[in-house]
Amino acid sequence: MAFGQSHSTRRGITFWTLLLLLLTSSCGSPSASSADPLPAPVFSNPIPTLTPFQPQPEDSPDPYLGVTTPQPVPTFTPYPTKYVLPQNIAPVEIIPSFEGNLIINNPLTGLPVDDPSMFQRRPLAIKVGNSPDYVRPQSGLTLADVAYEYYIEWGDTRFIAVFYSNTPERVGPVRSGRFFDEHVARMYHAFLMFKGADPRELNYLKATDINDLLVSVGIGNCPPYFMGPYKRDSYNNVFFNAGKWSACAERKGLDNSPQTISGGFFSEEAPQSPLNVTRIFSFYSVYNYNFWEYDPELNKYLRYQEAKDLTKVKNETYEQLFDDLTKQPVTAANVVVLFAPHIFANGYNAEDEVYNIDLIDYGNAYVFRDGVAVPARWNRTAVDQPILLTHLDGSPIYLRPGQTFYQVMGVTSRQIQNGTEWRFEFKTP
């Protein structure tokens, strides 16, 4: 992949960090492959310090606490032509609300819309950088209907944000594509906006039937990419003007027709759950970690991002994440933690951490809304529809109307509880 100097530096730091961990582990530490491994050390946190969860699995109403491997480790297979559904769930068609021929409720948020003509087009799935640290605050995240954060490589994460009810004039910084983005583009029938990609991933995407939906950075003002108003390297200063895209798509003769997208189930009524949660930590690496804090007055979760990576400080430090376009804090009505297999198709991809994230068929999840956690299953019932979230018995979970933010984790990621604070530490087999 085309990495900047920060990535090469991180690879060096990562090597020495791993070497130190290896030497330390030889002095009597439990093996990670032991039958009953102890939780990994948790870095201290000034607000507050996390410790491994205290209750035993049988003492907790959370059915996942005793599960160390939520799903069997799969092997890489090409994109399937047929989906296999769990036996306790049937495909559910979620019909958007219409008035005449226009959608009046956003199928991605459940919220009514002031201008139904906004949905007479395809959604936009735009890649947004999250590293290096100086790319923050990003632009446009507060205006996305749905957003996913996932691990890319060498400790970094990236967002892919889906815009349907809004067309911000500045979204970004726009960064490169990954295999995972195919899932999002297909699920939301979206154009995929990105800034180049590793040849392995770019050639793959171009060979698929979504090739006509790929919108990469080029020369000229159509597509409407532009340099941002920041004094930084040009590589991390490219933005997209979503408001100019429809005219550009028409000019290029692209299919920007209205789409039928299922979305999900929404309700203002809070779910019944004994699992109260105030903070949801996602620790992807020493370079990238965050938490969402529930605000009961807003009925929303506020996003906090690492302020310094743990190669520079001993303790986790955080600052609230804002949107530089709207000047508003980044929030979510729902936070969903998805457990999905992270697979290397071959040894060459493993060397460069080129992951295939297998968001296929079904897997385990947690849905966080209204200050509680709901153990869940995610179900991909069709290649061209978003995932459906259900209870463990197969009945649908109702999200709170508003933006949903997905944290994508590996299936062997570690879960740690400390009272009402939950922590997920990214792991792959």
| 429 residues of the chain, pLDDT tens digit each | 443 444 444 544 444 444 444 434 444 333 333 333 333 333 333 333 333 334 445 567 888 876 544 455 566 777 776 666 566 664 444 445 665 556 578 999 999 888 888 899 999 999 999 999 999 999 999 999 999 999 999 999 999 999 999 999 999 999 999 999 999 999 999 999 999 999 999 999 999 999 999 999 987 899 999 999 999 999 999 999 999 999 999 999 999 999 998 878 999 999 999 999 999 999 999 999 999 999 999 999 999 999 999 998 999 999 999 999 999 999 999 999 999 999 999 999 999 999 999 999 999 999 999 999 999 999 998 889 999 999 999 999 999 999 999 999 999 999 999 999 999 999 986
Instruction: Provide the β-strand partners of residue 191.
Output: 124
d(CA 228, CA 139): 10
Phi, psi angle pair for 212, to nearest 5°: -70, -10
d(CA 369, CA 264): 14
| Beta-sheet pairing, 225-227 with 238-240 | antiparallel
Q: Please, are residues 420 and 276 in contact by the beta-carbon 8 Å criterion?
A: yes
d(CA 371, CA 229): 37
Instruction: Name the DSSP letter for residue 382.
Output: S
Q: Please, are residues 385 and 262 in contact by the beta-carbon 8 Å criterion?
A: yes
Q: Which of 3, 71, 34, 38 is nearest to 428 (CA)?
A: 71
For the record, the structure tokens of 251 come out as 């000019």
For the record, the structure tokens of 157 come out as 């994460």
First to last CA, the chain: 22
Q: Which residues contact 305 (CB under 8 A, 6 or more apart)?
A: 130, 136, 290, 318, 319, 320, 321
Q: Under DSSP, is residue 33 helix (H, G, I), strand (E, B) or coil?
A: coil
Q: Under DSSP, is residue 119 helix (H, G, I), strand (E, B) or coil?
A: helix
d(CA 383, CA 81): 9
For the record, the structure tokens of 214 come out as 């790929």
| Beta-sheet pairing, 214-216 with 191-194 | parallel
User: In the prediction, which pLDDT does 87 show?
Assistant: 62
For the record, the structure tokens of 422 come out as 């939950």
Q: Please, are residues 290 and 281 in contact by the beta-carbon 8 Å criterion?
A: yes
User: In the prediction, which pLDDT does 60 show?
Assistant: 75
Q: Please, are residues 130 and 159 in contact by the beta-carbon 8 Å criterion?
A: yes
Q: In 10 A of CB 46, how many CB atoms?
A: 9
Q: Please, are residues 61 and 275 in contact by the beta-carbon 8 Å criterion?
A: yes
